[in-house]
Structure 1
Amino acid sequence: MKQILLIALLGASLSASAQTTGNNPADASNAPQLLSLSYDDALQMLQRGNQSLKIADKGIETARAERDKLNALWYPSLQGAGTYVHMSEKIEVKQPLSQFTDPAKDFVHTIIPDDQFISGILDQIGGYTLAFPLAPRNLTSIGLTAEWIVFSGGKRVRASKIGNRMIDIAQENRAQTDATQRTLLAESYYGLSLAREVVAVRRDTYNSLKLHYENALKLETAGMIDKAGRLFAQVNMDEAWRALESAQKEATVVESALRTLLNMEDTCKIEPTSPLFINATLPMKEEFVQTMRSGNYILNQLSLQQNIAKQQLRIDQSGYLPDIALFGKQTLYSHGIQNNLVPRTIIGVGFTWNLFDGLAREKRIRQSRIAEQTLALGKDKAQDDLTVGIDKLYTGLQKAQDNVRALNSTISLSEELVRIRKKSFTEGMATSTEVVDAETMLATARVARLAAYYEYDVTLMNLLALCGTPEQFKNYKK
């Protein structure tokens, strides 16, 4: 059980942030001060400085920025543009004069049939071409162009809803991160409480076996036991000392994991003041299942993703509708283009309607429908898996309660057995082996009961986190 605890706590230390705080370093020559820390205080420290929560907060800010970017589709766009053009030839209109002189010649002939003089002059004039310049070879233009989409088939409305759902998903992710960190805190904090309690048990066992060894020395001197009995007591006392040292080292490792999770420096020794606990009764399992269906973070995120897929489907279906927009253009500076040819101010309304795009719209609609159906199936499967998880965790809580009730009786029996065998040993009526066996059974039962308490606390936090209500842990703790 202790090895499992260490693996879990080492995993928590690897997933926690390793950034240190800016407190003044303590004098290395002085012993570290003792910091009494309750679970609620540790939770406040976690929520202030945990890097995972800060990353989740940035995710909410990113989602809000994305929502604002989608909402920008409601506003008109304004663009400035400038153009310089050099053409190989200037733009002009050429008109031959013959179209004017030929009717004049016909008119003169009706008056003077044999006229040659005036007709010759008109023929010479008709041979020329009249040119009207419109634009030079070099053109320059600077202006503003504005466009405002007044109808897009509902795309903007759906995009705004998608932006809101993205914020909701980010908030659910933040809540899930908070629940995960609370679970790690419960494992580390109550793991330290367990480690300290185990150290106390090992110390009591060592002191008891040490006293037993001293009694064995007296009895050996008095000739009541042989050397083997005294050596057996000494070997078990040494073994108890090694177990005490091992428990102290484990407590140091667990304390380091908690300190890393809380971003604390090695300037003080943490003393947890919130003890391990266990509840005599629990709510019905069905209550946890109902709470999970409405509060679990994964299910909530899947529901929000379903809503996003539904809005995306509506956007794809709106591709069959035209886009209508108001537009306008104002020329601020122009060189080479006359006002009577291109007006300086233009306003109007227009639409674009994609009549055929190679069935791309139909394929996008089908893809969106498949995505929505996949999310629905995934939500159903996740709900079934979470129900199994709740059943497993709830069974773990009941098992811990049963173990504590059974171990309470075992500890009572072991304490009485130790008392009797110690008294019998001093009177020469019991062997050293019987005393050591009784002490070992008592220590084992006490450590097992502490482990059952720890398993209950950690399992309870995991169960509440799975239901989406980790903040209810304080109510059970009371």
Structure 2
Amino acid sequence: MIRPAPFLLRAMLLTGAMTPWPANAQSMAADGVALTFQAAEARLEHASPALAGADHAVNAARETQAALATLRRPVVSASAQYLQYQKTFSVDLSDAKGDAVNGAQDLLAGLPATVPAPFQEIAAEITGRLSQALPGLFALVPDTLSYRYRETVFRPTVQAAMPLYTGGAIPAIERGAAAGTSLARAQADQAREVARINLIRVYFGQLAAQSLEASALQSRDALAKLYGDAVKLEQAGVTPRAVTLQAQVARDTAEGAYQRASLAHGSARGDLSEVLDMTGVRPTTPLFVDSRPLAPVASFLGRSGEGPQARQAAAGRDLAGAGVDLARSRYRPQAFAFGEYNLNRNNALPTEPDWIVGVGARITLLSNVDRGHLLAAAKEREAAAAATEAQARKAADAATARAWDLVEGARRSFLLLNSSIAAAEKNLRVQQVSFREGEATITAVLAAEAALSAARTQRIATAYEYDLALAGLLAASNRLEAFGDHLARADQRVLPEPVR
């Protein structure tokens, strides 16, 4: 909301009173770098760290969105392992030994019957001896056979995995990334809008302060001359000492007002120099007012809901909606494809395949996080974001209507002040002549001078109020880029008078 100009001007005066400024501020004003408002706007784009930071934030959000746009692609990775392993095999031979002894004895027992009769007795004697020797021979074979194998293996492999179905998680992530980019752009636009409004404030604020300083100087010089006339009249015996003292008080008061206005002008110069990152800026585009009425307020309401704040709220709603989709995906199954290829099959482990491909699926049956509450929380955030968006659009319309009233009020006041200044100037001349001729009191002259000074100050303040209110109206209605067009069409200019 734009505050009325008198409040802003009083704040400028207070700031100036607390900020010391060199005594040669007037000469610095003449030596400063001359800049039109359009040139100051162009300079702002390069001089504002806030705008640079906002642009970097947009670029970061855009890059993040681009990075997440390939989530459906397979993930291919290569790995290499250098392994050293040992394997021990143990075989129980006790049962095999018994079976072998029994089998061999049975075989020997049947051999004598297979030879000719003359030799059967000899064969029986030989097989008997062999049968008796068999247990001793097999006793030399251990009951358990152990074998230990040690090997070194180099294992390079290539793995691939690709999601087939994620339950909506990937679309939700992509939607959230797009919302993040929209949010960053809206924030950058708002930062640029705030920076431009601040430039309007300090650029035309310096002009207003310069005009107020010139007006205060005029009043001081006029009252100084009046004091000189009072001294002469007192010396001539025309007026009493009290009139001279009254004129002196008025002159000293005007001197104090001028000093404060000069300090405020210096402070305003410092504000503009800081915003533009320049030393000594001299604005050349004067304060302006368009005497023609504004278009109806309804014509400004059409785009008020498209401003940066409303777009930030809309992006927040989209981001919350993506959170709802992501929470829902936790209930759904996931499917994926995978594969692996061994690049060193000649040196592979015994149980390791040369390559493998397959598909898989999984679903969470029981989670240690309550998915129902997660989904409910995401829906509540979405509802809150939707309400925030509605409120932002409503607030934009209300701000537009208020700013329109301020602009129109300042315009009407400014036009009335033109005739007021003319009447005040004529009245002052009449009172000054009457005072010199002894037909009017010094009080009447002082009152006329105060009225003229107040009218001049109010005219400057009203022009400044008009410019600030116009900037607020255009910002609230998402038309701030048209400020330059309004400036060019304005038919009333308030040029600061040169400071002597």
State the TM bucket, normalised to the shorter chain: 0.7 to 0.9
Q: Relative to structure 1, is the Cα distance of residues 388 and 86 closer, same or farther in structure 2, using a 3 angstrom cutoff?
A: same
User: More displaced, 124-133 or 235-244?
Assistant: 124-133
Partner of 1:280: 292
What is the Cα deviation at residue 367 of structure 1?
1.6
1:351 Cα deviation (Å)?
2.2
Contact 1:289/1:387 (CA < 8 Å) preserved in 2? Answer: yes
1:178 and 1:123 map into 2 onto residues whose CA distance is 102
Inter-CA distance 120–5: structure 2 relative to 1 (3 Å threshold): farther
Are 2:477 and 1:444 equivalent residues in the alignment?
no
Give, in whole Å, the separation in 1 of the partners of 2:218 and 2:267.
Answer: 21
The letter for the 1-side match of 2:292 is A
The answer to whether the 8 Å contact 1:189/1:272 transfers is no
Correspondence for 1:94 among 76, 91, 96:
91
Give secondary structure in 2 for the equivalent of 1:354: coil
1:141, 1:335 within 8 Å by CA — same for their partners in 2?
no
SS in structure 1 opposite 2:239?
coil
Q: How many residues align?
A: 455
Query: Kindly tell me: are residues 269 and 90 of structure 1, through their superposed partners in 2, closer, same or farther at Cα, counting changes over 3 Å?
Result: closer
Code of the aligned partner of 1:172: A
**Which of 328, 331, 340 does residue 320 from structure 1 map onto?**
331
**Paired residues of 2:243 and 2:442 also in contact (CA < 8 A):** yes
Root mean square deviation of aligned Cα: 3.4
1:180 shift after superposition: 0.4
Matched, 1:397 2:395: no
Amino acid at match of 1:317: R
Distance 1:312 1:269, change over 3 A: closer
Counterpart secondary structure, 1:320: coil
TM-score by length of 1: 0.83
Q: Which of 291, 300, 307 is residue 296 of structure 1 equivalent to?
A: 307
Match for residue 57 of structure 1? 55
User: Following the alignment from structure 1 to structure 2, what is the Cα–Cα distance between the partners of residues 451 and 136?
Assistant: 94
Q: Equivalent residue for 1:341? A: 351
Measure how far apart 1:198 and its partner are.
Answer: 1.0
Aligned pair in 2 of structure 1 residues 98, 280: CA closer, same or farther (>3 Å)? same
Q: Distance in 1 between matches of 2:256 and 2:267?
A: 17
Residue aligning to 1:203: 217
When residues 273 and 475 of structure 1 are mapped into structure 2, their CA distance, relative to the original with a 3 A threshold, is closer
From the superposition, tell whether residues 132 and 314 of structure 1 become closer, same or farther in structure 2 (CA, over 3 Å). farther
- Structure 1 position 311 matched with structure 2 position 344: no
Q: Supply the distance in 1 between the matched residues of 2:47 and 2:134 (Cα, whole angstroms).
A: 102
CA deviation map 1:91-137 (0-9, x unaligned): 43636485598499569848955976469759965965686969537
Question: Is 1:323–1:353's contact at 8 Å kept on the other side of the alignment?
Answer: yes
Query: In the alignment, which residue of structure 1 is the partner of 2:8?
Result: 4
Residue 81 of structure 1, CA deviation: 3.9
Letter in 1 for 2:198: L
Distance 2:135 2:198 in 1: 106
Change (3 A) 1:2 1:247: farther
Unaligned runs of 5+ in 1: 12-29
Amino acid at match of 2:297: K
Name the CA distance, whole Å, in 1 between partners of 2:12 and 2:439.
46
Task: Return closer, same or farther for 1:132/1:9 CA change in 2, 3 Å cut-off.
Answer: farther
Letter in 2 for 1:452: T
Contact 1:9 1:187 in 2 (8 A): no
Aligned-residue offset at 1:254: 0.7
Structure number with larger C-alpha Rg? 2
1:354 paired residue among 364, 382, 401: 364
By how many angstroms is 1:52 displaced? 0.5
Which of the residues 371, 375, 383 maps onto 2:385? 375
Amino acid aligned to 1:284: P
* CA distance, structure 1, for counterparts of residue 9 and residue 137 of structure 2: 114
Query: Is structure 2 residue 185 aligned with structure 1 residue 171?
Result: yes
Closer/same/farther in 2, CA of residues 95 and 467 from structure 1, 3 Å limit: farther
Q: Tell me if structure 1 keeps the 8 A contact 2:97–2:138.
A: no
Counterpart residue type for residue 74 of structure 1:
R
Q: For residues 172 and 8 of structure 1, what CA distance do their matches in structure 2 show?
A: 31
**Corresponding residue of 1:469:** 479
Deviates more, 1:248-257 or 1:95-104: 95-104
**CA shift in 2, pair 1:188/1:153, >3 Å:** same
**Identity rate of aligned residues, in percent?**
22
> Aligned pair in 2 of structure 1 residues 71, 133: CA closer, same or farther (>3 Å)?
farther
1:190 corresponds to which residue?
204
Task: State the 1:414 CA deviation.
Answer: 1.1
Worse overlay, 396-405 or 302-311: 396-405
Separation in 2, partners of 1:8, 1:237? 23
How far apart are the structure 2 equivalents of 1:163 and 1:471? 29
Q: Could you say what secondary structure the match of 2:335 adopts?
A: strand
Counterparts of 1:386 and 1:8, CA distance in 2: 28
Residue in 2 that maps onto 1:15: none
SS at match of 2:282: strand
Cα distance, 1:256 vs structure 2? 0.4
- CA–CA distance in structure 2, aligned partners of residues 6 and 134 of structure 1: 95
Q: Which amino acid aligns with 2:221?
A: N
- Please state how far the C-alpha of 1:163 moved relative to its aligned partner: 1.4
The Cα shift of 1:177 comes to 0.2
* CA positional deviation for 1:53: 0.3
Contact 1:414 1:438 in 2 (8 A): yes
Give distance in 2, aligned partners of 1:362 and 1:381.
29
* Residue 23 (structure 1) aligns with: none
> Is contact 2:35-2:281 (8 Å) kept?
no
* Matched letter for residue 39 of structure 1: F
Query: Mapping of 1:178-257 within 5 angstroms?
Result: 178-257=192-271
Aligned residue among 433, 442, 451 for 1:432: 442
Pair 1:366–1:125, CA change in 2 (3 A): farther
Deviations 1:168-190 (A, max 9, x none): 11111000000101111111111
Alpha carbons 1:461, 1:470 under 8 Å: kept: yes
Map of 2:341 onto structure 1: 330
* Shift in Å, 1:200: 1.8
SS in 1 for 2:34: strand
SS in 2 for 1:224: coil
- In 2, the alpha carbon distance for the partners of 1:9 and 1:231 equals 28
Specify which of 65, 68, 77 is matched with residue 67 of structure 1. 65
Q: With structure 2 as the length reference, what TM-score do the two structures score?
A: 0.80
Assess if the C-alpha contact under 8 Å between 1:98 and 1:125 holds in 2: no
Measure, in 1, the Cα distance between the counterparts of 2:171 and 2:188. Answer: 26
Specify whether residues 413 and 79 from structure 1 end up closer, same or farther in structure 2 by C-alpha distance, changes over 3 A only.
Answer: same
